[in-house]
Amino acid sequence: MATFHVKLFFLALILFCMIADVCSRGPVYKPPSVERLTDRFSRFTVDKSYDFAFGASNIHVTNNGTTAALSLDKSSGSGLVSKNKYYYGFFNAAMKLPAGFTSGVVVAFYLSNANIFPHNHDEIDIELLGHEKRRDWVLQTNIYGNGSVRNGREEKFYLWFDPTQDFHDYTILWNNHHILVLVDNVPVRQVAHTPAIGSVYPSKPMSVYTTIWDGSEWATHGGKYAVDYKYAPFVTTMRGIEMEGCISDRRNVTNNLSPCSRSGISSLDPVDGELFSQLSRQQSGAMAWARKKHMFYSYCQDKIRYKVLPPECNAN
C-alpha cells in the first residue's frame, strides 16, 4: 500500500512538472543588485534604428514601431540590421524568446562587419540557443577580431530566469577599454582591451543585428537535435532598443577612420568615457556571481580544444 502511495505521489509530481514546466529548470537564483545602465540611454523605435536584413515576410512591427516580432518557420528565418555602423557603443535589445520545444533555434543579438570585411571581419555575439529536454535556453557569447573565425572564444551560461515568460535586456558595451556582455544589466562577461588579446580585439566599424534562424547543424549538442518544424512558427519579440555610440561615416568605413574614438578617458563621451572604462565594485561582484552560478563552459578552460590556451586566458 505504501508503495502505491509513493508511486501515486511521483506520478502527481510528474504531471505537475509537465503542466507548470518548472521541474526541468535548475535552481533559481536572485541576481545581485546592480546599476541599471540601460536607464542612462534613450530607447528607439524599430523603424528609426533598423532595416530588414532578411525574411521580411516573417517580421511584424507593431505598437507604433516600438515592438518587432521576428519568426522562424520552414520557409525562412528573419533578421534586422541597424541603419548605422558604429566604431563603438552601447547596444541593447529587450527580448522575449519562443517557448516550448526549441532545439536548434537560434536567437541572436550581435555586432558584425562580415558584409564589408568577409575575410577578416569582427564580431561580438549574444546567441540564445534553444534546448530540447530541459527547455532552458542557453546564452552563448563569442568574440571574433580581424578574421579569427577559426578560433572562437565562446562562453556559455544558463539563465537565472525563464526568458520565454517576459522581456529581458541583452546588452553589448564595446569601447576602447573593454567589451561587456550584460543580461538585465548584470555583467556576465568582460573582455579587456589589453596587449594580450592584441589584434583579436574588434576594431572596425560594425552593424547591429537581431535575428532568428535555424542552427540545427550546431546549436544543440553539436547538431544532435534539429529544429522540429511541427512546433513552428518560433517567434521572438523585441523592444527596448538602445544604440548609443560613435556612428561611422559610410565614406570612411573601408579606410578604418574613426572621427570620434579617443585614446584616453573622456568624461564627455557617454560610451567611451570614465563611467564605462571599467567595472564598478558592484558590477564586479555581480559578474563573479553570474560566472560562478551560471557559466558552464569557457574556452579558457577547454584544454582539449586548445592545447595552448589563447594568451588573454593567462593575462590575469
Q: Per-residue pLDDT for the chain (316 aa), expressed as one digit of tens each?
A: 555 443 444 444 444 444 444 444 555 678 999 999 999 999 999 999 999 999 999 999 999 999 999 999 999 999 999 999 999 999 999 999 999 989 999 999 999 999 998 888 999 999 999 986 656 899 999 999 887 666 779 999 999 999 999 999 999 999 999 999 999 999 999 999 999 998 889 999 999 999 999 998 887 777 778 899 999 999 999 999 999 988 886 554 444 545 565 455 555 567 877 778 999 999 999 999 999 999 999 999 999 988 888 888 986 5
Q: What is the pLDDT of residues 158-183, one digit of tens each?
A: 999 999 999 999 999 999 999 999 99
Evaluate whether residue 113 is within a structural domain: yes
Q: How far apart are the first and last CA of the chain?
A: 61
Nearby residues of 215 by Cβ (< 8 Å), 6 or more positions away: 104, 105, 106, 129, 227
User: Residue 232: what pLDDT?
Assistant: 96
User: Residue 184: what pLDDT?
Assistant: 98
Measured CA distances, 53 to 200, 241, 279 (Å)? 26, 17, 34
User: Residue 7: what pLDDT?
Assistant: 45
**Backbone phi, then psi, for 23, in 5-degree steps?**
-75, -20
Evaluate whether residue 24 is within a structural domain: no
Residue 229 CA to residue 233 CA, distance in Å, equals 7
3-state secondary structure (DSSP) of residue 209: strand
User: Residue 150: what pLDDT?
Assistant: 64
- Looking at every residue in the chain, the average pLDDT score rounds to 85
Evaluate whether residue 297 is within a structural domain: yes
Q: The domain that contains 108 carries what CATH number?
A: 2.60.120.200
Residue 220 CA to residue 295 CA, distance in Å, equals 17
User: Residue 271: what pLDDT?
Assistant: 87
Evaluate whether residue 316 is within a structural domain: no
Q: What is the pLDDT of residues 2-55, one digit of tens each?
A: 554 434 444 444 444 444 444 445 556 789 999 999 999 999 999 999 999 999
User: Residue 152: what pLDDT?
Assistant: 77
Q: Chain centroid to CA 225: how far?
A: 21
CA atoms within a 13 Å half-sphere pointing along the CA-CB vector of 219: 24
Evaluate whether residue 259 is within a structural domain: no
Evaluate whether residue 120 is within a structural domain: yes
Evaluate whether residue 119 is within a structural domain: yes
Residues serving a catalytic function are 123, 127
- Do the bridges between strand 59-62 and strand 67-72 make them parallel or antiparallel, or are there none, so unpaired? antiparallel
User: Residue 274: what pLDDT?
Assistant: 77
Number of domains in the chain: 1
Containing structural domain, residue 42: 36-248+268-307
Evaluate whether residue 289 is within a structural domain: yes
